Structure 1
């Protein structure tokens, strides 16, 4: 049976659209939402509730609907759970499936939970899953995991892509109803740049549902068309299908725009959604208000919906939601929905009003349509399994619920009044104040440059919204120094109204047997909230978490005020004494794709490449990510695997010369008259006597005394240091330096500059390194006598300005040549050419790690774990014993940092030199001790050493420095390996090769 009214609404009756729901082919119209199309086909049942699996239907016509969550899919392979049918626009071929049910929506075995409801009262999980304890792993957790969540998570890669955009405007208006349109017009007429956004497919807000209203003698829809044309002429950027999902500091507003979900065919390369980050000088919040449900027994049956939603489906989409309806209300606005439905051919059996006093004009209009008005009445129950069939109503006199009567219907339209949409305003930590007359919270103290207009601040009616919006737009423009006038609007046939707020409606039944729902999605009833209060929950935040009310995907838009009223009544307090829960962004559920934008696949994270990266790629390098950098891990030749390539690279480097791209090292320039004093305070080493032209290894600690970073530091001149850091630690070290300089030592005259990207660095290592480099150097004698180990100087290399370091991270004669980044590739190619007669061999990070491990050089973050002190790492010699202070000095004096039993860095040599230990493997002192065995340490680095012809490892071992020569045991997958503790300096322990 069709509930579509020919020619009515803003849908295109000449353009039918086919779609499916639960595999059944159905027809809608272009301009429908999935919800309106389902209702046009007489379908109210769309899902099952989360906890009790009760049948649930469409409740609202917007993004606040808690029930109409479905799975949608496209031929492209995109599958999305929890799509709101009230927001999803109909498109040809749309496939929608109900969720949270098995095997079918009509016959769901999960409905057994409804029969067991007494066992699932508020907080049941806190009480039920505590005993017996051994049930958790094998019984409770598996069941909970299977039951948790709404819908099915997609299993395939998302085929869509998402876009991001930044914008700056004078005035951003959130909400394109009457108040928002008026605000945008007033601001734009002043010459301000304006952006107007709305979550619907077209602007208009409540005007789309109120075609009978006239503005200045013009029907609402005609006025709306004129306003849209003027907005376009004024250059206002109008973004429909766009949700303002978050309001952040300094007037940054996050917008999520649906770009292609409504299209039958997605254009090539078109994004599905676009995330906007908009910085506005002024913001106008005109998001309107949300209608509240009433709380009574059986208020969750399919066919029970908000009166305003029924009016929207009728006037905007041309769908009459019922043939015979009943209205239950505590607010005037529901009368207009009843009148519109009656005028469209529906029978309205009665308007059940909880109030005793009703406006005469409303009574007269109801009487003229043959609608019975039942004042001072309540609803005490509904019947119907998969859709409402009847409602039980009772008169209320002197607080007593009298004998009931039954009204038959196929829809029950409810209205408990309106709640201003204050989520965005609350994101800014703006203050809210309770309005006793309106029985709701209204915006009060502002923390951002914003205005709130219309129903968002408790002004009901289109006339009031237009006037207030125009005033807000003019004030926003005026705050920017622009002249703006406030237009006046003459609104006739306006439908402003008043009402009263309720806790749950009075009932004639035993309250313990009443199922009056507050939160439809999470199956929270009024008695659950009262139970939470009886069980000691006094804070509204505790009530929320104990019952889960307001934790659903609608963020409590429908449930919060009703839940607050009930909790306040149970506590014997006024609503402002109880307060509201915290609203947090996003305003509505937002896809991960929209947040990620372009950051997916290869673009998921910024990939930094050195100037030498193209050469490495062209020569077959295998890469690995290090921090945000892409680094060459090894350079395979022929059929070599990694182990073979690394062995060849290491042997070539130790035998002749190897070349390595070290450009990713962090580099910081420390300059100024107080640079030496600053370095003394930051690093553990002393720096006063380090002469210009010399290098020193530096250790940086945290306040706790643990090693945070290290690197070689060169003194370029009296007041200038060239600091190197680990690749991943560059930003962290600079932030630490800046923090101390700005907050602890502002008296020091020092400048800090990150130069990581300024310099490209090429490392030459091996006995023939000087032979390769020397012919290319101008202006500097690099003989061993003139330029010894740990020296630095500016010179020219291969015709390029360079800063030359002599140091070694391999144990071989070594140099690091720094040149401006733009010359990095040219330097590399020049060195490769010069080194060709010596068999120069490029090596990657894997060989670099192995070469340094043979020398026992640590890598911070691999051989340290955030709890290693300098003494633990064997770096006690780097502590300036005569220094007055440095970062971490007091931390080193803590008793636990000098106590016995600390893990210390040592070398490990397996008894069988062919066996390589696993990095991360635990270490025990005894081979066959009973389980569980005490672990005394773990392996930090492990390699097969070509130079030593055996495996080597480094490890953190309890009291390791005092256990030299001892045998320890490392449990591996199939055996226990014995290893001897030794010095980590396995190769050339005297360091003669590096000093040659």
Structure 2
């Protein structure tokens, strides 16, 4: 093809917004609204890919999802293999690489394979590679197989969490039939969902001349869309229905605006209407796979939509009248067009282009179209051949619903043969190609008014145009898998005459286009070879998906929100208004820091301000699991490593929960409200797991009538005030609670009031400074938070994010379960041995802690001081040398730069760490060796005086 763009452009392109991208390393210019294909055609690119088996050069055939040749990999951060360039929007800066061609499609080093095609016909590998053993050849063959290449370093195609949708009527296809049916259903007050794979609804009305209700096609489409939106109909564009499943469910895939994500919708509709149109077929002639041979409708599509003329000297081969509209349009676009019509007695009635009654025998040219030779022997100069061999109704979803097909000679295609409950096929998909009849039929399905359409200027009036047995030359049926008419004849000679056997013997229709343009020609040829009708020969089984769908789209329900839903704070909106930057912590979306100066600067500012004054932190995700009942104290003694039954009402105690193997499972504070009521304040990320652990042991070991468990985490918000000025700030808020240290000492609680709302004030600290946790009903938290912020202005209070809190905890040597512990950390490793030696009642993990193997384990949580002044890498191994080998004796669990100490700090679990304080150790990380000095875990205020300051 020698395509070019007309000055006016097409309706989809904005010539004021140029863009560029690269294809096989060559820069290609285009405009906003272009597809990758239209930009390449306009730039004169002829070879865009290579066929799978013989590596023959291929150009674009179609303009939509039927495209077999224009497949490419989209490179970059979101690498996507095997993308159809005909439906991929062009984006500025994108990198496109052709598939199956090295180093490029135009210059493929494997092109020599075509010279050996006579030795590698259909099914050759079944016969050739059996001796001496298939497995001797398999690795090399598989290495050459495949199309696009995966990039293991790419983040891949981002799947969005799948969603469910229900409606009264689902209309698949937004062409004239689909829009009319949707309007009728919406007019009856039904809930309508309309989906279409194009960026704009309208179907054929966007490319062909049509008049409806006194409007041109595109104007009528715009009016119809406005009416549907006013009625509340939901309209999906760039969304394709790929599968029909049990119980009336239709799977549709919606491409997001940036093209880097796709959402799976499971749509359940009381009634589904398929207005999916039809796919244009080719005609049989030798060398019909040359770059420059294209579907006639695609040529019209590129012209009207993008303003791209696909060639300068065009021969249009057809067996029907629809193709004449393409000839007329391209002639107006400036192309020299000659129509070669195989129908008999065709007369010249057009003045804009030449019409010949005849048939193409072969295409001339080695790597692209240079002309054609007719069966009569006449040669015509051409750089492009457009082909229209009729239309195959798109009945794939109908077939997936177990629908049976019937052959119609008048349209030379298969159409639905019987009704299926809840499923109706209309328009071209049902074999109706005249616009007035299409609109009438679609309106009748839903009881809507019938739009008045102009009579078609070019009726279909189709004649048969199928491959003939023993025809000369290489006639290509499946352009991607290199299946020729001779391959079908070979299958018939070897008795593979069933269409299902034919498919597998020749790989006809097994490429990623699933034979949309090739299957019917192959089975028609088989019908002629075997003396059967096309109806008797039948079709292969239609299976989903209709188009390739990324596996990430189907796998979406196994990850993201639906695997582990992100939980949100009651005060999220307030935090966002205060400039919070959010991250996910243990399943909760929480502020990481506040400010706009950057992470390092803002986090350091918060940590310093909280140490020197007062900080406000939203700790609402902390677990608040209530354990109630006469046996609650005994139950918690069994659950905790520590003894909890001796805890007095109004007091708190820090403790560990263990697994049956004695491994630290969780830590936190237990609050005792009265004799029979406790609150388990576990780690934010462990709330559900801790609740399950409590329930499991309650049911197994305790009387369920005497112990009750209730998770109240979501009911209450917990707001923390920490720092030397925390008490002064709370006194300014006036919660009607006595904050005197004698009344409310460290690890005690009291109750106050904020207006009419009760507030629980617990004096616990996760920063090492004086701190207070305020728990209040979640729906009343905003008033308390604003009161704290208002009072905090007098004390220069800072809003504290999760990153600064981690630094404050690390400065004090406070651990974070799952970060400072691993799958074999026991309480003795963390310096807590008392219960092991003194606790006499049974508890989870007790037996395991007394095993000899555990007693011999000697690890300790220690600090590590960097000797280079740089932050130590978390995860680095502490190693000792055993001759030439290194052995790991521990690892760095937490590492930060402390703005309060003005130096790096780190924590680690190290064998014999307690006895080695002060020693220099070697660290190993990603091939590098570092040095550090072992130090006490608590680097800030080791005496703990600030808790009471």
Fold shared by both chains (TM-score > 0.5): yes
Q: Of 60, 63, 72, which aligns to 2:62?
A: 60
1:18 and 1:27 in contact (8 A); partners too: yes
- 8 Å Cα contact 2:468-2:525 kept in structure 1: no
Matches of 2:793 and 2:10 in 1, distance apart?
Answer: 72
Q: Partner of 2:278 in structure 1?
A: 289
1:919 is matched with which residue?
874
Name the residue aligned to 1:806: 763
Change (3 A) 1:489 1:692: farther
Residue 966 of structure 1 deviates from its aligned partner by: 11
Does the C-alpha gap of structure 1 residues 496 and 883 become closer, same or farther in structure 2, counting only changes over 3 Å?
farther
2:519 corresponds to 1:518? no
Q: How does 1:444-523 map to 2 (within 5 A)?
A: 452-456=425-429, 465-466=438-439, 468-474=441-447, 516=476, 518=478, 520=480
Where do residues 378-397 of structure 1 align in structure 2 (5 Å cutoff)? Answer: 383-387=365-369, 389-390=371-372
The answer on whether the counterparts of 1:20 and 1:26 sit within 8 Å (CA) in structure 2 is: yes
Task: Answer yes or no: is 1:762 the counterpart of 2:720.
Answer: yes
SS at match of 2:181: helix
CA deviations 1:199-235 (Å, max 9, x no partner) are 55776534667769x99xx99x868866875775674
Q: Aligned partners of 2:881 and 2:363: how far apart in 1?
A: 73
The 3 A distance-change label for structure 1 pair 338 and 864 is same
> How far, CA to CA, are the matches of 1:969 and 1:633 in structure 2?
34
Distance 1:470 1:279 in 2: 23
Return the alpha-carbon distance in structure 1 between the equivalents of residues 689 and 757 of structure 2: 31
Report the alpha carbon displacement of residue 326 of structure 1 after superposing the two structures with TM. 6.8
Asked if 1:714 corresponds to 2:710, the answer is no
Maintained 8 Å contact 1:71/1:97 = yes
Question: Which one of 923, 931, 935 corresponds to residue 970 of structure 1?
Answer: 923
1:47 aligns with 48
- 2:238 matched to which residue of 1? 243
Query: Once the two structures are superposed, what CA deviation does each residue of 1:8-34 show, in whole Å capped at 9, x if it has no partner?
Result: 99989xx99999999999999x99989
Query: Cα offset for 1:901?
Result: 11
Q: Is the 8 A contact 2:167 2:192 kept in 1?
A: yes
Is the aligned partner of 1:826 residue 2:779? no
> Per-residue displacement from partner, 1:344-368 (whole Å, max 9, x unpaired)?
89544563xxxxxxxxxx6555899
Aligned counterparts of 2:4 and 2:727: Cα–Cα separation in 1: 88
Distance 2:526 2:545 in 1: 18
Q: In 1, are the aligned partners of 2:892 and 2:908 still within 8 Å (CA)?
A: yes
What SS does the corresponding residue of 1:181 show, helix, strand or coil? helix
- Is 1:907 aligned to 2:861, yes or no? yes
For 1:874 and 1:951, how far apart are their aligned partners in 2?
19
Cα distance 1:993–1:433, how it changes in 2: closer, same or farther (>3 A)? same
Cα distance in structure 2, aligned partners of 1:917 and 1:279: 52
What residue number does 1:420 align with?
394
Q: CA RMSD in A?
A: 7.9
Do 1:71 and 1:81's aligned partners in 2 also have CA atoms closer than 8 Å? yes
Residues of 2 paired with 1:284 and 1:739: CA distance? 51
Q: Deviation digits for residues 579-605 of structure 1, max 9, x if unmatched?
A: 5564288879999xxxxxxx9xxxx99
Distance of 2:286 and 2:848 partners within structure 1:
64
Corresponding residue of 1:303: 292
Q: For each residue in 1:580-637, what CA deviation from the matched residue of structure 2 results, as whole angstroms up to 9, or x when unmatched?
A: 564288879999xxxxxxx9xxxx99999779969987xxx99987566564769999
What secondary structure sits across from 1:858 in the alignment? Answer: coil
Normalising by structure 2, report the TM-score: 0.63
The verdict on how the C-alpha distance between 1:166 and 1:148 changes in structure 2, with shifts beyond 3 A counting, is closer
The answer on whether the counterparts of 2:671 and 2:679 sit within 8 Å (CA) in structure 1 is yes
Cα 1:176–1:704, aligned 2, differ >3 Å: closer, same or farther? farther
- Once residues 445 and 681 of structure 1 are traced to their aligned partners in structure 2, the CA distance between those partners, rounded to angstroms, is 68
Call closer, same or farther: CA 1:540–1:229 in 2, change over 3 Å.
Answer: same
1:182 to 180, 183, 187: 180
SS of the equivalent of 2:239 reads: strand
Aligned to 2:884: 930
2:909 to 955, 968, 976: 955
Tell me how far 1:180 sits from its aligned partner. Answer: 0.9
User: d(CA) in 1 for partners of 2:278 and 2:390?
Assistant: 12
User: What residue ranges of structure 2 are gaps of 5+ in the alignment?
Assistant: 130-134, 529-535, 554-560
Match of 1:385, SS state, is coil
Query: What corresponds to 1:939 in structure 2?
Result: 892
1:337–1:57 distance in 2 versus 1, CA, 3 Å: farther
Alignment partners' CA distance in 1, 2:35 and 2:929: 64
Assess if the C-alpha contact under 8 Å between 2:508 and 2:518 holds in 1: no
Distance 1:405 1:772, change over 3 A: closer
Counterpart Cα distance in 2 of 1:961 and 1:567: 83
| 1:968–1:288 CA distance, 2 compared to 1 (3 A) | same
Q: Is the 8 A contact 1:69 1:98 kept in 2?
A: no
C-alpha separation between the residues in 2 aligned to 1:17 and 1:785?
Answer: 73
Please state if 1:335 is matched with 2:320.
yes
Check whether the contact 1:188–1:236 (CA below 8 A) recurs between aligned residues: yes
Q: Equivalent residue of 1:188, what SS? A: helix
Partner of 2:58, secondary structure, is strand
The whole-number CA distance in structure 1 between the counterparts of 2:670 and 2:267 is 42
Q: 1:464 to 1:123 in 2, by over 3 A?
A: farther
**1:242/1:257 contact within 8 Å kept:** no
CA distance in 2, matches of 1:726, 1:812: 20
Q: Secondary structure at the match of 1:583?
A: coil
Q: Are the structure 2 counterparts of residues 690 and 385 from structure 1 closer, same or farther at C-alpha, using a change threshold of 3 Å?
A: same
Check the 8 A contact 2:405/2:417 in 1, yes or no: no
Closer/same/farther in 2, CA of residues 610 and 714 from structure 1, 3 Å limit: farther
SS at match of 1:45: coil
Could you tell me whether the CA contact under 8 Å between 1:380 and 1:506 is conserved in 2?
no
Q: Structure 1 residue 794: deviation in Å?
A: 1.6
Change (3 A) 1:769 1:254: same
Structure 1 residues 254 and 9, CA, compared in 2 at 3 Å: closer, same or farther? same
Report what 1:663 is aligned to: 619
Distance 1:874 1:584, change over 3 A: farther
Matching of residues 564-963 of structure 1 within 5 Å: 579=541, 582-583=544-545, 626=585, 629=589, 631=591, 659=615, 661-663=617-619, 665-668=621-624, 670=626, 693-697=650-654, 709-716=666-673, 722-727=679-684, 759-764=717-722, 780-781=737-738, 786-796=743-753, 801-810=758-767, 814-818=771-775, 820-822=780-782, 823-828=784-789, 830=791, 833=794, 848-849=805-806, 852-853=809-810, 856-865=813-822, 906-908=860-862, 917-924=872-879, 926-927=880-881, 929-931=883-885, 933-942=886-895, 953-955=907-909
Distance 1:37 1:611 in 2: 44
**Residues 786 and 473 of structure 1: is their aligned pair in 2 closer, same or farther, counting only changes over 3 Å?**
same
Query: Aligned partners of 2:781 and 2:690: how far apart in 1?
Result: 21
Task: Write the deviation string for residues 411-445 of structure 1: whole angstroms up to 9, x where unpaired.
Answer: 2625485252647x89xxx6445647589797999
**Cα distance in 1, alignment partners of residues 606 and 220 from structure 2:** 73
The answer as to whether partners of 1:284 and 1:473 remain within 8 angstroms in 2 is no
Partner Cα distance (1:590, 1:695) in 2:
47
Q: 1:276 to 1:435 in 2, by over 3 A?
A: closer
CA shift, 1:940, in A, is: 0.8
Q: Aligned to 1:666, what secondary structure does the other structure show?
A: coil
Contact 1:16-1:27 within 8 A present in 2 as well: no
* Alpha-carbon separation, structure 1, partners of 2:105 and 2:283: 26
Cα distance, 1:565 vs structure 2? 11
* Distance verdict in 2 for CA 1:229–1:166, change over 3 Å: farther
User: 1:955 deviation in Å?
Assistant: 1.7
